[in-house]
Structure formats: structure tokens, C-alpha cells
Chains A and B, each alone.
Chain A
């Protein structure tokens, strides 16, 4: 049935006249409550990148402290405030908003042939809620900063820096609210607003990833909200939810916290996996290998990932049956991730790989994530985890998957979609320099950490056994390389935005819908919505040239 006939009973929003907006947004529009998903996406990307730099500076301060075994650079409380907020900022104000709010918002409507998200005003609200969240975190430092780790376990979090900790809790609740509002937007948009010619199994894999991510966020975030609410009450209103003296249970907090925070790591990697599935086929000029497996593995990770959280609590107040059950579930969740990695390698196999900066970062992600994933499997076994829990082995593991995984993936996405977002091309030589420095820096910083943990160095310490100094200095040196690696990127991104060569509609010759419109897209995305005539990864087809002409 065409929408030209309006059925009398259906609930339909009547067609409205073209909205009153300028032909193009001006620079100041990007600082306002703007409901264009592309503006919101850029707002998320830029804001989160700024927080990345703030969190990165905290990390640099920590690494400088750790260059010597004694606690001689920062006061112990400030060190703990940095370690707490480094983690918090990187998770809640960098990776999650950049991948979901940034790339998700910019790309999803374009990829499915929609003019915007299902709820554009809600979308803008979700972004603006993250701004006070960030301000609360920064402001908390005037009160000493939260110091109980990003995990903020009671009783420590109830007895340390109460004002700062309360501000921290409010910040997370705001960030979580943003997450929930964004998730419901993505679920409804992807479910209901795909162009009619696009069936579920013709949707770009990035959209599958966003769907799985959004369901996961929707289900897990409210439980964190509950736990943090209880913590806030304990700190400020005299309750004893986590006070053993009055019958409370500190392990209860850990369950509530990790029920969200384990899925949180999937929130931070699933959209990135989606980016991988978009970047690799384009730059290897081959269809994605195993579309269905990758799509379903995202949903599997979403489901199984809800039942592994106790692997963060193997040394805590957890009974034997729980430790065993969650060892098994954690080992199972490794399988769908492995499937993706093999599929991406198979996608590259036999292709015609171009070493664009986007592709370099994508391949770098593959290399790093394999290692991070393998160390994760070891951590999943309770018997071995008893040795390495809460040590630098864990720090090494999660930085491989979060930096080597998520951050590399974000960079791959930035290089790949920068032309579409800004209408300019990034400089490839600077991109390659950025990649080389980042790859070297990441490995130098985080590889030695595994050995440190195995040998006996716990995490979250400013002072350590002097026997570990050499390895720590290596890590510190690596972190300086990482800090320097930002320079070519920042120079490139900032300069190219206004001075880079103008980008065509489809500089990579890709097949997903976002490339069928201008770079950057007009505000309504297209004059006329596109119709799907071939799959999103139909490379190597003889008819490719023909249908491309029709689509544009």
C-alpha cells in the first residue's frame, strides 16, 4: 500500500510542510538545542573527544606518578581521584557517547534511509543531559573528587569525600538517563523507520550492532540507577543499604553495579564492532564474510552478556556455585566474539586492501582485540582469576580491549566518515603517522602490565614494590608516546575541517546509503529517499557499476 492513500483508521502523523530551517547550519547552530541527528552526532563526537583529552591528562598524571615506586608526585587522595575519574570519564563521557551518541546518531538514520531519528527532540535532550553530567564530574574536583574507583564500592565510597562522591553519582545517573533515552530512540528508529525496501537482513551491520547495544543499555542501565540511588541515600540520608552494622550488605551493591557494568563493556565495543563491519568491506573491496553470523552474534553477545557479571566478583562474597556458573557463562560469551574476528579476517582474505588510515586502524583493532580477548578468557576462569583479580593484569586486559579495541575503532570510524560528516578529506600521511604512533604507544603502555599483574602488582596504587619499577617506566614511556600520537590527529582533524580537500559524495566507493547523498548531507539527508537495490556489501558484483548510477 502506498502512503499516498491515507487509510481513515490508521494512526498517522499528517505530512507537515517543510520545516523552517536554513539551507545549511551555521557554526553557532552546533552549540544549540538542535534536533538534526547529524548536528547531535557531531555535538556528541566533539564533546566526548574533549573529555577524552581530559581523561587522558589524568592518565598521564597517573603514569608520571607511577614512574617511581614511591608516592611522590601526587598526594594519595588526588591520585585516587584521578584514577576514579579517569575511568569514569573514559567510559561515560568518551567511549559510550562517542560510539553510541556520536556515530550512532549520525549514521543510523542515513544508513536506513530515514530523514531523522524517531524522536528528534528527545535525541537533542539526551545529548544536552550529558553536559551537566560532565560539569558535575569536573566540579567534583573542587570537593576532592570521588576517590573510590569508578566502581565506587561501599563502604569506602560512603566514607570518602561525600560531596564529591554525591556529585559523581548524580553525574552517572544523568549519563545513564541520556543512555536510556538514546537507546529507546535507536530501537524504535531501527525497528520502524527503515526504508520499506530494506529488510532486516539487508540492513548495514552497524545498525544491527546499534540495535543490540540499545537493548542492552535499556535493560542494564536502570539497575545501575537503582544501585547508585541506594548509595546516594546511604551517603546523604542516613540509610544503611550497604552498611553491615545495620544489616546492609556491601556485596549487594557489587551485584547491582556489575549487572550494569559488565554489559557496559559490551556497550563500548558492540558499536565499534559495527564500525568494523562497515569499514573493512569498503577498504578491502569485498563483501562482509558471514553477515548473518555477525548480526546474530551481536544479539547473542547482548543476551549472554547479561549473565556474566559475577566474573568481576570472583574473590568477593560469592558462593562456590555462583563462581562456577559465571565461569561457564563468561567462557561461552567468548565464542560469538571470536566468530566476528574470524569473519573480518575472512573478509580481508582475497580482497584488495587499501591502506587508508581507516583501514589501518581497523586492522590494528583486530590485532589488539585478539590479544585482549585472549587475556579476557583467562580472566573468566575463577580458579586463575583468584590470582590476577584486581591486579595490573586486569588493567592490561581492559586497556587492550578498550583502547586497542574501542579507541582504535573510533579512530577507524573517524577516518572513514570524516568526509561524510565534514565534507572534507583528512590528510592520509598524518593519519598514517597517527596510526604508527598509536599502535606503538598502546603496546608499549599496556603489554608490560600483564606481567606486572602476574608478578604481584595490584591495581589502583600510587606506591609499589620497587622490583616493578623498570616495567612501570616502560609503561610510562609508552603513555608519553600515546600522548604525542594525538598531535598528528588533532592537527589533521582541525586543519582539514576547513582547509582539507573537498570530499565527493562517495570518496570510498562504498555501498551503504549514507554515501548516496552529499558530503556533508543536506539537512533532510536526501531530496528524495533512496531505494535499496542491492545489499550493503555487494562488492565484486558485475552489476555494481550499473546500480550505483541509478542510486545517485
Chain B
């Protein structure tokens, strides 16, 4: 039977349609990954806005960062290693579920969540020990705003991973052919990582020069 009528891609003969209950909700490809990627392009551009402001102010400043508000380098560097590695770890989880290994998925996603939590803890520690705050000077304004918004996105990514872990508890929820949530969490996590790499380069590494 003609389950759907989208089969005729050759025209011009008009199709003879058969109706049926299934016709009311045809199969179609899962577009949610595409939707997420489109959304992340947009979200990335918001960070581009913040980075542009940072760079313009840096170009106009006599000293950047100013004397009173230097950046830490060691802790953020360690954090960078953790975050970048966590992208590889989360990918292991995605590979696992594609092979049907839900236990593997859970293992790797738990590790990723821990690494993400460590990153956030490291960030919080850095904030507490920097010795200057959001409103100290223009550099600190940019620093806290950008790292803060990034941290917020890491936190959301963490929630997505925890959500995947929660859902994975149900038998058969994720499988080799249905793991869209796993993929979406992974893509989001990679996004957060890429943003951090740019941020780390501009705010931390560039301060050396």
C-alpha cells in the first residue's frame, strides 16, 4: 500500500493517492540535530559579539590586562586540558551507544559530567582567588562577563549530560538506532569546548603578548 504519498518525485503524472491512518503522521528524518546545530551557530555569534568587544577594548588600552587585574594562567590551563579532554571522553560515550553499549554510554557520560563539574569548580575557585571583581575595571568587566556566560553554558551542558544519564536508566530508551538525546548533548558539549578554546586564546594566552 502507499503508506505515504511522498514517493512520487517524478512528475507530471498526478499521483493517485491512497488514504490511510498512517498517512496522518508520516515518517520523516529526525531533524533535531540539524536544529541544534543551527541554534548553536546563533549562540556562537553572541560570543563573537563579546569577543569583539574584548578585542576592540584591548586594542585601545594602554595596558591589557591592567596591572591590578592580571590573569591567572596555570589553573585555567589545567581547566582547558580538562575541558578539551572531556570532549574526547563524551565522544567515547556516543561511540558506545552506537554499538548498543548503554553501560559504556553511562560510564563515559558520568566521567564527562565529573570533568565538567571539575571545570566549573576550578572556575569558581579562580573567581574567588583572583582578587578583583566584575566591576573593578574594564578588563575585569570583559573577563567576568565572558567567562561567566561561558560557565553558564557549561552548566547547561552539564544538565544535558545529567539528563541523558537519567534517561539512560530506562531499559531500551537509548539504542543503536535511537539516541538523539545522546548526540545532541555531545554536540552541545563540543560547542562549549570550542567557545572555551577561543576564549582561552583571546583572554588568557593573548595576555602574554
A residues neighboring B (CB under 8 Å): 2-4, 6, 8, 10-19, 115, 118-119, 122, 180-181, 183-185, 187-188, 191-193, 195-197, 218-219, 221-223, 225-227, 229-230, 233, 237-241, 246-249, 252, 256, 524, 527-529, 531-534, 547, 550-551
A interface footprint on B1-44 (CB within 8 Å = 1, 0 otherwise): 11111111101101101110111111111111011001101111
State in angstroms the CA–CA spacing of A10 and B32 once bound together.
14
Say yes or no: A529-B53 contact (C-beta < 8 A), given A180-B42, A219-B45. Answer: no
23 CB contacts below 8 A, A to B, read A11-B30, A14-B27, A17-B21, A17-B25, A115-B26, A118-B31, A122-B35, A192-B28, A192-B31, A193-B31, A197-B8, A218-B41, A218-B42, A223-B46, A230-B53, A239-B145, A240-B137, A247-B57, A252-B56, A256-B52, A529-B23, A533-B12, A551-B14
CA distance A532 to B14 in the complex (A): 8
A227–B49 Cα distance when bound, in Å, is 7
Please give the number of chain B residues whose Cβ is less than 8 angstroms from any Cβ of chain A in the complex.
58
With A2-B7, A219-B41, A239-B134 known, 9 other A-B pairs at CB within 8 A are A2-B4, A3-B26, A12-B28, A12-B30, A222-B45, A222-B46, A226-B48, A229-B145, A256-B49
A241–B139 CA distance with the chains assembled, in angstroms: 9
Check B41–A528 contact: CB distance below 8 A. Answer: no
How far is B51's CA from A256's CA once the two chains are assembled, in angstroms? 12
For B18, the closest partner residue in chain A by CB is: A528
Shortest CB-to-CB span from A199 to chain B, Å, is 9
Query: A233 near B141 (CB under 8 angstroms)?
Result: yes
Let me know if B23 and A528 touch, CB within 8 A. yes
Contacts of A19 in B (CB 8 A): 24-25
Give the residues in chain B near A184, CB-CB below 8 Å.
35, 38-39, 42
Contact across chains for A241 and B138 when beta carbons are under 8 A apart: yes
Nearest opposing residue in chain A for B36, CB measure: A184
B135 within 8 A of A: yes
The yes or no answer to B200 lying at the interface (CB within 8 A) is no
B197 within 8 A of A: no
Contact of B31 among A188, A197, A230 (CB under 8 A): A188
Which residue of the partner chain B has the closest CB to A259?
B49
Instruction: Knowing A227-B49, A240-B141, A252-B53, say if A180 contacts B39 (CB, 8 Å).
Output: yes
* In contact, B29 and A241 (Cβ under 8 angstroms): no
Is B155 part of the binding interface, using a Cβ–Cβ cutoff of 8 Å? Answer: no
B173 within 8 A of A: no
Alpha-carbon gap, A225 to B35, bound state (A): 20
Cα separation A184 to B34 with both chains bound (whole Å): 9
Q: Is B7 a contact partner of A4 (Cβ separation < 8 A)?
A: yes
Q: Are the CB atoms of A247 and B137 closer together than 8 Å?
A: yes
**Complex partner residue of A3 from B7, B35, B60, B135, CB under 8 angstroms:** B7
In angstroms, how far is the closest chain A Cβ from the Cβ of B88? 23
- Please give, as numbers and ranges, the residues of chain B lying within 8 Å of A249 by CB-CB distance: 56-57, 60
Asked whether any CB of chain A lies closer than 8 Å to the CB of B75, the reply is: no
A3-B27 contact, Cβ under 8 Å, with A222-B45, A226-B50, A249-B60: yes
With both beta carbons as reference points, the residue of chain B lying nearest to A122 in the complex is identified as B35
